[in-house]
Amino acid sequence: MASKNTEHEGCAFGIDPEMWGERMTRGDTSDCRTDWFRMSRFGMFIHWGLYSELAGEWNGYSYHGIGEWLQFRARISAADYAKIASRFNPREYDPRAWVALAKAAGMRYIIITSKHHEGFALYKSAVSAFNIVDATPYGKDALAELAAACREADMPLGFYYSQTQDWHEPDAFGNNWEDIQAKRNFDRYLEQKVLPQIRELLTGYGKVAFLWFDTPGAIDAAQSQKILQTVRELQPDCLVNSRIGNNMGDYQSLGDQEIPATAHAGMWETIDTHNDTWGYVATDSCWKGPREILTRLLRVVAKGGCYMLNVGPDGAGVIPPLSADILREVGAWLQQHADAVYGAGLSPLGDFPWGTCTSNGARLFLHVFIWPPQGRLVVPGIFREKVNARMWSRQGGESLEVIPGENHIALNLPMHASSLLIPVIELECQQTPQPAPGVMVLEGYRNEFPASRAKLTEVECTKQSWMEKFGDWKHADCLTQWKRESVAEWRFKPLLSMRATIQIEYSSTFENGDTKWQLWIGSQKLEFPLIASGEDSTGIGGWPRRMRFRTIIAGTLQLNAEEQCLRLVPLEREANAVNITSVSIST
């Protein structure tokens, strides 16, 4: 095996980088251009390009992480990379099969890479010969074929387009391992490649449901505006994501693979990988199973978002069979629980220690990730009137006994779940229930108090993002910038009096020892050290350090069944090296 090239340091996006369009601040208002998208909730993302042919390997060395960045990682010159096109011959490409898979998976739109950072167009382009028709033995327009298959199946189709990074072009950004972009003229690239190619996409392939941009980087507002104007003129109904840059577009894309902890206003989406890459990597078989995919989808829908899950077909054009099988299982569940996702949205009650909730008109859908002890499911919330509850089974709905309580209802369920995936309970409530004040602590679960729900004094809640493998992003809301005066507080109420163990999940870069902390519940006090969590001081390519979390037990206390407050306070200045993601109470 060849030795590994050093990974390139620094940022690929030029000055003042905007990685993901996260600067978009406004939400949207509901209208008929966007409603179908909001209703759809679940889509298929497809990353396919020359990187799929390379499959994560270059010169006999296998790279882990995101496959579509192989050229960057192996520092392959644009000239050498262009030669790969002569091997790209996806004989097994069957766009009808892809669309059929998306349908079977319950996905309601498809977005495919028309041109990723590598610069190669998957369609016939008159402005650059670096495209599938002119540069490969395959010689056919893959996007035209996919568009035809989508039209046949009534499947909305959109195109991913990398507008700032293009490692093939001297006038674009991103190729910092050669000197080909040293004299870049980005406006020229915009006028001579981006805008004409976007015109081709919007005029040659029928109705385009989305143009999905990425890594806006150093693109300025006038340039983003020019792209947007071109889209609006040619296809006014085409939706544009926030990664066009500079607070433009129709809806917000969160960070890669980001599932938010709290509800978001406006229209937004989470994009996710099925394994740990977007483009095909032969060695990556870290598939999320159907249960994990549904859990992530439901958590997004419960917070008001759409979820687009990626598949990475290989160089022959085949979506890995295991990936396809898993998606079909997801689809079978969605077929049974369609109303809980399509046209559904926000949980009025937040998340629960046992699962989450989505709403659709007067119906609430409880998604039970953890089956309750003794079959008694407690639903915290203020229900002002009688509620009907049904358990979904293959035979249809089965009525459940509902026991009203103070700031909650309890449901008597069977002792065992009838579904191996995610059982769903439907509540019919004429009046939307209100969240109970504070967190209700239930027996038999880990009751999590997340950073994002704390009341803060002299401490901040910030989203931390880092990469685990190369390009494989993780995100966590953390309490940071602790000072001696800082306090984080959570209000909660145990449903019953209980003996509870309190745990802290955190990371700490304070290598010289412990930092001391106190946790107060009423007049009861726990004192404990948080030890270094052993995280790397810098991450991949000089990017933020890779975080590593630990969970420690702070102590065990007897708690009464009354509303109370948990207060977390640092005792030492070095607490500023600590990030706290949650405090949890378990019985």
* Footprint on this chain of ligand H79 (rule: CB under 6 A): 11-12, 19, 66, 68-69, 214-215, 256, 271, 278, 471, 540-541, 543
Helix axes 321-336, 290-302, angle to 10 degrees: 50
Q: What are phi and psi of 402, to 5 degrees?
A: -115, 125
Comparing CB distances to ligand H79, the nearer of 426 and 472 is: 472
Comparing CB distances to ligand H79, the nearer of 269 and 329 is: 269
Comparing CB distances to ligand H79, the nearer of 271 and 326 is: 271
Query: Are the C-beta atoms of 532 and 508 separated by less than 8 Å?
Result: yes
Comparing CB distances to ligand H79, the nearer of 21 and 372 is: 21
**Integer CA distances (angstroms), 24 to 204, 303, 536, in order:** 30, 18, 31
What is the rounded distance in angstroms from the CA atom of residue 181 to the CA atom of residue 287? 37
Q: How far is the CB of 21 from ligand H79 (least distance, A)?
A: 11
Query: Are the C-beta atoms of 65 and 472 separated by less than 8 Å?
Result: yes
54 conformational bin, left if phi > 0, alpha if psi -120 to 50, beta if neither: alpha
What is the rounded distance in angstroms from the CA atom of residue 301 to the CA atom of residue 357? 9
Which pair of tokens denotes residue 439? 């967190």
119 conformational bin, left if phi > 0, alpha if psi -120 to 50, beta if neither: left
Give me the amino acid identity at 445.
Answer: Y
Query: Are the C-beta atoms of 230 and 198 separated by less than 8 Å?
Result: yes
Comparing CB distances to ligand H79, the nearer of 14 and 529 is: 14
Comparing CB distances to ligand H79, the nearer of 177 and 354 is: 177
Comparing CB distances to ligand H79, the nearer of 118 and 448 is: 118
Q: How far is the CB of 89 from ligand H79 (least distance, A)?
A: 23
Q: How far is the CB of 271 from ligand H79 (least distance, A)?
A: 6
Q: How far is the CB of 421 from ligand H79 (least distance, A)?
A: 27
Comparing CB distances to ligand H79, the nearer of 215 and 347 is: 215
Backbone Cα Rg of the chain: 25
Q: How far is the CB of 112 from ligand H79 (least distance, A)?
A: 11
What is the rounded distance in angstroms from the CA atom of residue 296 to the CA atom of residue 326? 14
**Integer CA distances (angstroms), 378 to 109, 239, 348, in order:** 36, 41, 16
Comparing CB distances to ligand H79, the nearer of 171 and 214 is: 214
The burial class, CB within 10 Å (0-12 / 13-18 / 19+), for 305 is buried
Q: How far is the CB of 46 from ligand H79 (least distance, A)?
A: 11
Q: What are phi and psi of 81, to 5 degrees?
A: -65, -40
| The residue to which tokens 């950072």 are assigned | 117
How many residues can be counted in the chain?
Answer: 587
Comparing CB distances to ligand H79, the nearer of 214 and 572 is: 214
Q: How far is the CB of 284 from ligand H79 (least distance, A)?
A: 14
Q: What angle do CA 327, 333, 334 make, to 5 degrees?
A: 85
Helix (H, G, I), strand (E, B) or coil at 72: helix
DSSP label at residue 116? -
Q: How far is the CB of 545 from ligand H79 (least distance, A)?
A: 13
Q: How far is the CB of 51 from ligand H79 (least distance, A)?
A: 9
Q: How far is the CB of 513 from ligand H79 (least distance, A)?
A: 32
Q: How far is the CB of 310 from ligand H79 (least distance, A)?
A: 8
| The residue to which tokens 């983003």 are assigned | 224
The burial class, CB within 10 Å (0-12 / 13-18 / 19+), for 371 is middle
| The residue to which tokens 């979820």 are assigned | 307
Comparing CB distances to ligand H79, the nearer of 256 and 258 is: 256
**Integer CA distances (angstroms), 524 to 335, 455, 515, 555, 567, in order:** 50, 19, 20, 11, 10
Q: How far is the CB of 180 from ligand H79 (least distance, A)?
A: 17
Comparing CB distances to ligand H79, the nearer of 516 and 545 is: 545
| The residue to which tokens 């010169």 are assigned | 59
CB atoms within 10 A of CB 413: 22
Comparing CB distances to ligand H79, the nearer of 68 and 329 is: 68
H/E element holding 162? none
Comparing CB distances to ligand H79, the nearer of 214 and 276 is: 214
The burial class, CB within 10 Å (0-12 / 13-18 / 19+), for 348 is middle
Q: How far is the CB of 56 from ligand H79 (least distance, A)?
A: 13
What is the rounded distance in angstroms from the CA atom of residue 321 to the CA atom of residue 574? 50
| The residue to which tokens 């809640």 are assigned | 461
Helix (H, G, I), strand (E, B) or coil at 144: helix
Comparing CB distances to ligand H79, the nearer of 348 and 541 is: 541
Q: How far is the CB of 269 from ligand H79 (least distance, A)?
A: 11
Helix axes 221-234, 195-204, angle to 10 degrees: 20
CB atoms within 10 A of CB 549: 16
Q: How far is the CB of 428 from ligand H79 (least distance, A)?
A: 39
